Amino acid sequence: MPRYDFDLFTIGAGSGGVASSRRAGAYGARVAICEELRVGGTCVLRGCVPKKLLVYGAQFADAFADAAGFGWTVPPADFDWPKLIAAKDKEIGRLSQIYINMLNNAHVEIIEARGVVVDPHTVEVNGRHYTAENILVAVGGWPETPQLPGIEHVISSNEALDLPALPKRIVIVGGGYIAVEFAGIFNGLGSEVVEIIRREDVLRGFDEDIRVYLGEEMRKRGIDIRGGTQVARIDKGAGGYTVTTTAGGRIETDLVMYATGRAPNTQSLGLAEIGVELTANGAVVVDEWQRAPKVPSIYAIGDVTDRINLTPVAIAEGRAIAETLFNNNPMRMDHADVPSAVFSNPPLGVVGLTEDEARRQYGEVDVYQARFRPMKYTLSGREERTFLKLVVDTKSQRVVGCHMLGQDAPEIIQGLAIAVKCGATKQQFDQTVGIHPSAAEEFVTLRDKYVRPPEKAAAE
């Protein structure tokens, strides 16, 4: 008779938890997964998928505006927010059901309720105890907001995806990828957008040039980015809300959205009580095998570990656990050179190191960059610029960073990520024939090193 009810019990049915559970089940393991909300997790239900569907919806405004330059006469367009939201809901419902089907096909038992860890091998769900040789924590993260007067009036990205009506005016607080993506969505759909950020530029942690140029392009589109600004209070009135800044400025708006960060969703999960080490913000501390060092039967993946909070990373981590535990194929997730994208307007894609990170790691680096008007906009008249950049280790000539801002950047960077992962050199980039005419070809035609102006270099 088995010692435990299951070989693996997963808490959280997001992309990472589902990937690990279904693969383990396919290898013959006895697996259960519990979810307190809905199968699909952040990415499918409240994150990447619905958000990008809204991004696509917002991009039609540009298409209509640019059409005239190519000879098209387009009648005045009318946008229906409830219709977009209904279509989005239908699609995420379809995807959630696909996840359920995949789990069922792998013979994974789905338990629709909240799970709490009560000891290293036991999870309690609705008063019932389930035992497992291994417990996987894949509960993701949740939006967090600061404590200040009137914070109860704000929404997060969760609620922004299900608004009953499109706001005419919205204040978005935050400068990270969620904030800039929603700023682009609401701006593209016709809302007046004010974005409040504590720093001067958006996207802290990204390459400095990308940050500056994205801010410029967003402002061109009419997004009012107020850098070096903090909120003091939010007051509700008859006609909407008043956001008061610490400097005394007042902004009248119909809606206030906070996108100032997400925290690991480990509160009241029982992990600390059984000896699992958590960081100050509640993230699960794991080793290279995704295992909690002090409680080796506990594993964690994805946003709950607060390392690289990307869906494909959570999936790769989850699959590595299944391979290691149930397929006699020890595997560790390689967190180096993970590509990422921000679906801002315009979007950006990056892989590898920023220029500053590369200088700290390698000392001397070569930088190549270009900024140009895409061919598509020569006829439409749009003034948007594409920017791309290569960061190269001077000594080895290995390309250690690729950065791009402009249409199709995420699609282009995905391919370049393979080259960076393989350790491609600048010479190999130069020897690659470009596809003409395309923006992507610029990455293999960069010949002149960029020399930063003395006054800017001194300031940095």
How is 378-406 classified by DSSP, letter by letter?
HHH-----EEEEEEEETTT-BEEEEEEES
For the stretch 166-181, pLDDT in tens is 999 999 999 999 999 9
By three-state DSSP, how is residue 102 classified? helix
pLDDT, mean of residues 435-449 = 95
Q: State what percent of residues in the chain have pLDDT above 70.
A: 98
Q: What is the mean pLDDT of the chain?
A: 95
**Residue 239: pLDDT band by 50, 70, 90 thresholds?**
confident
**Residue 458: pLDDT band by 50, 70, 90 thresholds?**
very low
For the stretch 272-288, pLDDT in tens is 999 999 999 999 999 99
**Residue 325: pLDDT band by 50, 70, 90 thresholds?**
very high
Distance CA 124, CA 14 (A): 19
Strand partners, 142: 263
Q: Of residues 107, 121, 403, 436, which has the active-site annotation?
A: 436
For the stretch 359-385, pLDDT in tens is 999 999 999 999 999 999 999 999 999
Same fold, 151-260 and 340-459: no
pTM above 0.85, yes or no: yes
Name the class of domain 151-260.
alpha beta
Distance CA 90, CA 111 (A): 23
How far, in Å, are 18, 203, 241, 290, 330 from residue 311 at the CA level? Answer: 12, 19, 34, 16, 22
Distance CA 40, CA 98 (A): 9
Q: State what percent of residues in the chain have pLDDT above 90.
A: 95
pLDDT, mean of residues 415-431 = 98
Domain 6-142+263-326, second-level architecture: 3-Layer(bba) Sandwich (3.50)
pLDDT at position 331 over 60: yes
- Range with lowest mean pLDDT among 42-46, 97-101, 349-353: 42-46
Is residue 436 flagged as an active site residue? yes
236-242 own/partner pairs: CB under 8 Å, 24+ apart: 236/150, 236/153, 240/169, 241/150, 241/153, 241/171
Q: Which two tokens stand for residue 415?
A: 């391919």
**pLDDT value at residue 457:** 52
pLDDT at position 459 over 90: no
CA angle 147, 153, 156 (to 5 degrees): 80
**Structural domain boundaries in the chain:** 6-142+263-326, 151-260, 340-459
Q: Which fold has domain 340-459?
A: Enolase-like; domain 1 (3.30.390)
pLDDT at position 50 over 50: yes
For the chain, how many residues are written?
A: 460
